[in-house]
Structure 1
Amino acid sequence: MLVQLDHVKKIYDDFALELNMQIPENCVTGLIGANGAGKSTAFKLMLGLIRPDYGTVNVLDRKASDMTVMEKEKIGTVFSDSGFSEYLTVQQVIHIMKNFYTDFNENLFQKQCEKLEIPLKKQIKEFSTGMKAKLKVILAISHDSKLLILDEPTAGLDVIAREEILNLLRDYMDTPGRSIVISSHISGDLEHFCDDVYMIHNGKIVLHEETDRILDEYGFIKVPEQEFAKLDKEYILRIKKENFGYSCLTDQKNYYLENYPGIVIEKGSVDEVITMMVKGESI
Structure 2
Amino acid sequence: MISFENVKKTYGNFTMHCTMEVKPGRITGLIGPNGAGKTTAFKAVLNLISIDSGTLTVLGKPSGQLTARDMEKIGAVLSDSGFCGYLTVRDLVPVLKNFYEEFSVQDFQENCQKLSLPLDKKIKEFSSGMKAKLKVLAAISHNPQLLVLDEPTAGLDVLARDSLLQMLREYMEQEDRSILISSHISSDLEGLCDDVYLIDQGKILLHEETDVLLSDYAILKVTPEQYASLDQSHLLRRSREAYGFCLLTDQKQFYLKKYPSLVIERGGIDEVITMMIRGEKL
Q: Same fold (TM over 0.5)?
A: yes
Name which of structure 1's ranges 45-54 and 246-255 shifts more when overlaid on structure 2: 45-54
Unaligned runs of 5+ in 1: none
Cα drift, residue 282 of structure 1: 1.1
**Could you tell me which residue of structure 1 aligns to residue 51 of structure 2?**
52
Distance 1:90 1:256 in 2: 55
For 1:157-168, what aligned pairs fall within 5 Å after superposition? Answer: 157-168=156-167
Give per-residue Cα distances to partners, 1:95-119, cap 9 Å, x unaligned: 1011111111111111111222222
Contact map agreement 1:220 1:268 (CA 8 A) in 2 = yes
Give per-residue Cα distances to partners, 1:9-48, cap 9 Å, x unaligned: 1123201111111101111111111111111110111111
Cα drift, residue 69 of structure 1: 0.2
Tell me the amino acid that sits aligned with residue 231 of structure 2: D
For 1:35-184, what aligned pairs fall within 5 Å after superposition? Answer: 35-184=34-183
Report whether the alignment pairs 1:280 with 2:243.
no
Cα drift, residue 263 of structure 1: 2.9
Q: Secondary structure at the match of 2:9?
A: strand
Distance 1:261 1:168 in 2: 42
Give per-residue Cα distances to partners, 1:76-104, cap 9 Å, x unaligned: 01123222211111111011011111111
Q: Secondary structure at the match of 1:239?
A: strand
Contact map agreement 1:49 1:65 (CA 8 A) in 2 = no
Cα drift, residue 200 of structure 1: 0.8
Tell me the amino acid that sits aligned with residue 77 of structure 1: A
For 1:6-25, what aligned pairs fall within 5 Å after superposition? Answer: 6-25=5-24
Distance 2:29 2:140 in 1: 18
Distance 2:205 2:263 in 1: 26
Give the % identical residues: 54
Distance 2:241 2:91 in 1: 58
Contact map agreement 2:217 2:268 (CA 8 A) in 1 = no
Unaligned runs of 5+ in 2: none
Contact map agreement 1:31 1:183 (CA 8 A) in 2 = yes
Name which of structure 1's ranges 101-110 and 220-229 shifts more when overlaid on structure 2: 220-229
Name which of structure 1's ranges 26-35 and 139-148 shifts more when overlaid on structure 2: 26-35
Cα drift, residue 171 of structure 1: 1.3
Q: How many residues align?
A: 282
Cα drift, residue 265 of structure 1: 1.5
Cα drift, residue 57 of structure 1: 0.3
Distance 1:138 1:82 in 2: 14
Task: Using structure 1 for the length normalisation, give the TM-score.
Answer: 0.96
Report whether the alignment pairs 1:202 with 2:201.
yes
Give per-residue Cα distances to partners, 1:202-231, cap 9 Å, x unaligned: 111111111111110001122221221222
Contact map agreement 2:9 2:16 (CA 8 A) in 1 = yes
Tell me the amino acid that sits aligned with residue 30 of structure 2: L
Q: Secondary structure at the match of 1:95?
A: helix
Give per-residue Cα distances to partners, 1:169-216, cap 9 Å, x unaligned: 111111111111111111111111111111111111111111111110
Contact map agreement 2:129 2:154 (CA 8 A) in 1 = no
Distance 2:252 2:125 in 1: 51
Q: Secondary structure at the match of 1:206?
A: strand
Q: Secondary structure at the match of 1:22?
A: strand
Tell me the amino acid that sits aligned with residue 95 of structure 1: P
**Could you tell me which residue of structure 1 aligns to residue 31 of structure 2?**
32
Q: Secondary structure at the match of 1:171?
A: helix
Distance 1:22 1:68 in 2: 21
Cα drift, residue 257 of structure 1: 2.1
Q: Secondary structure at the match of 1:109?
A: helix
